[in-house]
Each structure stands twice: as C-alpha cells, then as structure tokens.
Amino acid sequence: MSSPGPVRDEGSPDERSDLRPASPGDGQWGARGRRDRPGGGRPTPGGRWSARAGTDRRAGRGGRPAVDRPRQAAYEAIAAVHRDDAFANLVLPAILREEGLTGRDAAFATELTYGTLRHLGTLDAILTAAAGRDVQRIDPPVRDALRLGAYQLLHTRVPAHAAVSSTVDLVRMVGPGATGFANAVLREVAERDADAWVERLAPSMESDPIGHLALAYSHPQWVVRAFAEALGGDLGETTRLLIEDNERPPVHLCARPGRVGAVELADEVGGAPGAFSPYAVYLSGGAPGDLPAVADGRAHVQDEGSQLVATALTLAPLDGPDGRWLDLCAGPGGKAGLLGAIAAERGARLTAVEVAEHRARLVAQATRDLLVTVLHTDGRTVGQDAKLPEEHFDRVLVDAPCTGLGSLRRRPESRWRRQPSDLSALTRLQRELLGAALRAVRPGGVVAYVTCSPHTVETHVTVTEAARRSGVPVDFVDARPLLPAGMPGLGDGPTVQLWPHRHGTDAMFLAVLRRG
Ligand SMILES: C[S@@+](CC[C@H](N)C(=O)[O-])C[C@H]1O[C@@H](n2cnc3c(N)ncnc32)[C@H](O)[C@@H]1O
C-alpha cells in the first residue's frame, strides 16, 4: 500500500463525517482469516507502505497474512496523521479507496483509526506505564503500532491474543527489532482493563478533578478546563460532554429549503427528520457523498447545530429592508448554502466572502445553483472594498475561524493539535471580523456571531470586546427565541451555547447583535 501522502483539511467540520463507523468490535475482526490482496504493499521500517506488484510482501510466518488489511489501513492513517499532519477524515477514506476496502473491513479500519486517535492521551499514559519509559521516546512507527494495539485491547472486543499478535506482526514490518518489546508492552497493557488503568494512573477526582477527567476521558487538560468553565463549573455535565466527544457523531443532512423537505429527504435516504432544525435529517449510516440528493444539490452534509445558528440569523426580527445578506466567513460554504436557499425563498440576495482562494471556490461550488455572489477577499476590508460597503447589509453572519473545540467528535486528532497559544491570534481575528461585520450592517440590521467552539475567550470575551471597540451602538438580541420552540438547555440568554451532550449537535455558540 502506498501512502496517499499528506492530506490537508479542506472542509468545515460539517463536511467531515466518519465514513462507515463500526460498532465496537464484536470479535469477528480477529487477526485470522482476513482476505489479502496479491501485490499488496508493506510498510518500510520508516512506517510508509510501499507497493510491490505481484509480490505478497505481507505474508507472514506459515504463509498467512501477517497483518490484515483493515489494521494496515488504520495503522497507515494513524501514522500519516502523526507523520504528515494529515487529517484522519481525509486520509483514511483515501487509504480505504486505494485498498478497495468496503463494508465491514472499512468499518473496522474506521473504528480503529478514530478510536485510537480519540483515546490517544490515555493510551499514551498507559503505554508509558507499561513500557516503563516515556512513550515519546519510542520510535514513531512502533509507537503508533502500539497505540493501535492498546486501543484494541482496552476499547474493543477483539480477543487479546489477536490484538497482541496482529500488533507484533505489524511491528515486525514497521520496526524490526522491536517485536519482543512490543509483545512485552502489550502483554502488560492487557493485564488490566481500561477502568483499572485509569484507576491506577489518574489523579483522584477529589484532589485534581481536571487532571482526573483529562486522563479518564482522553482530552488535554486545558480543553477540559475550558469546557468546565463554559459549563459553569458543572463537572457532571463536563464529564457527559467528554464522553460524547469520544463517540462517533451521527451524520446530519440539511434538506435545502425550496428543493426538498426534511420528511421527504428522510424517506428517500432512509434517515429520520431531525429533532430541532426543520431542515435536518439524521442519517443512520452509509456514505453521504453517494446519495443522489447530495449529488444533485437538494441536500448537503451539515451538523444540525450549524443549521440552527444559520437559520437563527434569518429569523431575527428586522424593521425595514431585508434584501441584502452577507456571510463574512463563508468557506467552505455549508452555511452559505443554507442561507442562499432561504434568501432565494425570501427574495433576498446573499454575498459570501472567503479569504482563502480554494475555500472560496468551494463556496462557489456549494452555492452554484443559487443567486449567491462569492467574493474572494478579506472580510476585514469592509469599507475599503467597493463590494463590501459600510452600513449596507441587513443581515450579516460571522462564522468565525476558531479552535473548533466544539467539533472534536468529528476531528479525532484536533484535540491534540490545538494549543492554548492558538487563542490569541484567533481571538484577535475574531474581534476584527466581528468589528467589520458591525461596520457592514446597516443601523437596525442584525449580526450573528458564531463559533464552533464553546471556549469563553472565543465566545463571550470576543463578542463583548468587539462590541465595545466597534464605536457603533450595539444591543444584544435574545437568541433563544430564534431557535426552535421548546428546545431545551438554552441557558439564560441572550447568547446561546449548543452542546453535543445536550442537543446532539456540535458545540456551536451564537450571539445576535443589533446595530443601533
Ligand atoms: C469556521 S469557517 C466558516 C465555515 C462556513 N461558514 C461553513 O459553514 O461552511 C471560517 C472561515 O473563515 C475564513 N476566514 C479566515 N479569515 C478570514 C478573513 N479575514 N476574511 C474572510 N474569511 C476568513 C476561513 O478561511 C474559513 O474558511
């Protein structure tokens, strides 16, 4: 198998869904009896797979396949994430396609890849203890193989002997010379179950609740702290959120208004209408990209929370004209697609701005059959760009670039990549973009500020500061009535924070501001 090489993230979290996620392993995915592909590749000691046509380079002792293809695929995806800074949701489908893995094999590879990456922090702590040395000092290819093995031992029903032997076989390929070490480490890991390891390694909840939760639920401590703060210090709720972050997220479709109704779409795709958004359909499985409704532009993949916050902007009460709408951070175009469809029904016209050229092209593609003007420019140029005049727009969306801590379910590696130091540049940009939006909106018009992060520095602090520095009169609009009636857990207003564990959505934040 040859590596598809570095794969960079191009989509919003909405567009990146697990492929065909598996239920937890039930034992049918043991190491024996896997199909093998003649001419398949094998990883070099550096960890990359190299194709050797006509030779089964993976044949192990006794002629049986040394490593089955789903595990190989998972290993290669995990290695690419760490070696090439690839994104699992992009690199894994490429590997699965290249290997021709479908059905249960693809599901198993997906489960192993996503599960290992989500649980990385805890797995590393366990491997450090089991190896008697810091996991960071283990050769990267062997380290990734051990992570994959430890995940199978602690979080799936793969029999222990199969998890150990398949991992040792993998290590034989990626780190010859380390097989004895790998065998010993995994046997040590297998001595306890996941709960017993947490009991042994995590600080107690009483003495260090953040440290305990971080290790028990595999999140960086700063992220746990940020979640706990956003949840008002409620550690029970924080725990539920962390558990939810480690679950496979469902795929949500958005039935484009004017094109197809949610009930009709649900019937067509075998899904269920969403609980909250009138446009949402929950998909039970399968590859959404293969659906005719998605291919022909009647629907797109979009988290229900994203649908709700975009729709909220269109529902904010407005006096006077209502024909000019602006999406100031539009790429790759999920919300622009929904806003453009609603605008078409209401006789309004959407302008969508995106600073990154390739993402601007994605916006144009996402809105290709709608009357949307796509501008490839910096949203902060309001007042300097003739197409972005001041006091011109009636409704403006700022779906700001953010840490994405609200969509960790969809991006298994991102919790380990993000750093608290990312916050200062991001919040400066968020303030500047919201300031530009407040210049772009007409007096009496509304601005929705949205992040896919519940971090209070990116939410409340940014909004308060940007409004204070804007130099224009700004009032908060209570956002709660702009969400579906009866939706629970919306807090005290005027802003709204959605949560995976409360609403089944990404953790989207919404503030609605009216320019006086
Ligand atoms: C959270 S994403 C928006 C997601 C999008 N609204 C959707 O629903 O698909 C933020 C976007 O803002 C863009 N961006 C960052 N800085 C910008 C700027 N100064 N002006 C315009 N867009 C910017 C990023 O490239 C990114 O595509």
In this structure, is residue 157 part of a structural domain? yes
- Residues ≥6 apart with Cβ < 8 Å to 2: 41, 48, 49, 50, 51, 98
One domain, residues 131 and 241: no
One domain, residues 46 and 150: yes
- Cβ atoms of 146 and 167 within 8 Å: the answer is yes
In this structure, is residue 264 part of a structural domain? no
333 is in an annotated binding site: yes
**Residue 23 pLDDT grade (very low, low, confident, very high; cuts 50, 70, 90):** very low
CA–centroid distance, 132 to ligand 1, in Å, is 45
- What is the reported pLDDT for 221? 98
- What is the reported pLDDT for 471? 93
One domain, residues 446 and 339: yes
- Cβ atoms of 123 and 155 within 8 Å: the answer is no
In this structure, is residue 487 part of a structural domain? yes
Q: Is the CB of 245 under 6 A from ligand 1?
A: no
Q: Give the whole-angstrom CA distance, residue 437 versus residue 457.
A: 19
Q: Give the whole-angstrom CA distance, residue 107 versus residue 109.
A: 6
331 is in an annotated binding site: yes
- Cβ atoms of 57 and 42 within 8 Å: the answer is yes
One domain, residues 427 and 344: yes
Looking at per-residue pLDDT, the higher value among 287 and 87 belongs to 87
Per-residue pLDDT tens digits for 212-271: 999 999 999 999 999 999 999 999 999 999 999 999 999 999 999 999 999 999 999 999
The closest of 297, 295, 299, 307 to 283, measured between CA atoms, is: 299
Tally of CB atoms within 10 A around 66: 23
> In the block, which residue shows the tokens 């701005």?
353
Q: Is the CB of 269 under 6 A from ligand 1?
A: no
Q: Is the CB of 380 under 6 A from ligand 1?
A: yes
Q: Is the CB of 333 under 6 A from ligand 1?
A: yes
Largest distance between two CA atoms of the chain: 79
The closest of 51, 3, 56, 2 to 34, measured between CA atoms, is: 56
Q: Give the whole-angstrom CA distance, residue 249 versus residue 17.
A: 8
Nearest CA to ligand 1 atom 19: 378
Question: Which DSSP string do the residues of 120-164 spell out, in sequence order?
Answer: HHHHHHHHHHHHTS-GGGS-HHHHHHHHHHHHHHHHS-S-HHHHH
Q: Give the whole-angstrom CA distance, residue 69 versus residue 101.
A: 8
Looking at per-residue pLDDT, the higher value among 21 and 391 belongs to 391
One domain, residues 100 and 235: no
What angle do helix axes 334-346 and 304-315 make, rounded to 10 degrees?
A: 40
In this structure, is residue 340 part of a structural domain? yes
**Residue 285 pLDDT grade (very low, low, confident, very high; cuts 50, 70, 90):** confident
Q: Give the whole-angstrom CA distance, residue 128 versus residue 101.
A: 33
Q: Which residues of 394-405 are buried (b: 16+ CB within 10 A; e: fewer)?
A: bbbbbbbbbbbb
500 is in an annotated binding site: no
One domain, residues 400 and 484: yes
Nearest CA to ligand 1 atom 15: 401
On the question of pLDDT at 272 being above 90, the answer is: yes
- Ligand 1 atom showing the smallest separation from residue 331 Cα: 27
Least confident of 15-19, 134-138, 330-334, 484-488: 15-19
On the question of pLDDT at 49 being above 60, the answer is: no
Q: Is the CB of 353 under 6 A from ligand 1?
A: yes
One domain, residues 408 and 467: yes
- Cβ atoms of 421 and 469 within 8 Å: the answer is no
CA–centroid distance, 331 to ligand 1, in Å, is 5
One domain, residues 208 and 172: no
One domain, residues 173 and 206: no
What mean pLDDT is reported for the chain?
89
254 is in an annotated binding site: no
- What is the reported pLDDT for 289? 85
In this structure, is residue 358 part of a structural domain? yes
CA–centroid distance, 448 to ligand 1, in Å, is 14
In this structure, is residue 328 part of a structural domain? yes
Range 26-55 average pLDDT: 31
> In the block, which residue shows the tokens 């780190």?
175
**Two structure tokens written together for 33:** 């009896």
Active site residues: 452
Number of domains into which the chain is organized: 3
- What is the reported pLDDT for 408? 97
Q: Cα Rg for the chain, rounded, in angstroms?
A: 24
H/E element, 311: helix 304-315
63 is in an annotated binding site: no
Q: Give the whole-angstrom CA distance, residue 68 versus residue 288.
A: 27
> In the block, which residue shows the tokens 């359909």?
281
Name the domain boundary from 161, 194, 227.
194
Name the domain boundary from 156, 171, 194.
194
H/E element, 476: strand 474-477
Per-residue pLDDT tens digits for 469-488: 999 999 999 999 999 999 99
On the question of pLDDT at 34 being above 90, the answer is: no
One domain, residues 498 and 455: yes
One domain, residues 413 and 481: yes
Report the percentage of the chain scoring pLDDT > 70: 87
Q: Give the whole-angstrom CA distance, residue 470 versus residue 438.
A: 7
- Cβ atoms of 325 and 347 within 8 Å: the answer is no
Name the domain boundary from 175, 194, 213.
194
The parent domain of residue 460 ranges over 303-515
In this structure, is residue 7 part of a structural domain? no
In this structure, is residue 435 part of a structural domain? yes
**Two structure tokens written together for 414:** 């991102």
On the question of pLDDT at 16 being above 60, the answer is: no
Beta strands 372-376; 509-515: pairing state: unpaired
Nearest CA to ligand 1 atom 2: 401
Q: Is the CB of 254 under 6 A from ligand 1?
A: no
Rounded to two decimals, the pTM is 0.89
- Ligand 1 atom showing the smallest separation from residue 366 Cα: 9
CA–centroid distance, 364 to ligand 1, in Å, is 14
One domain, residues 214 and 320: no
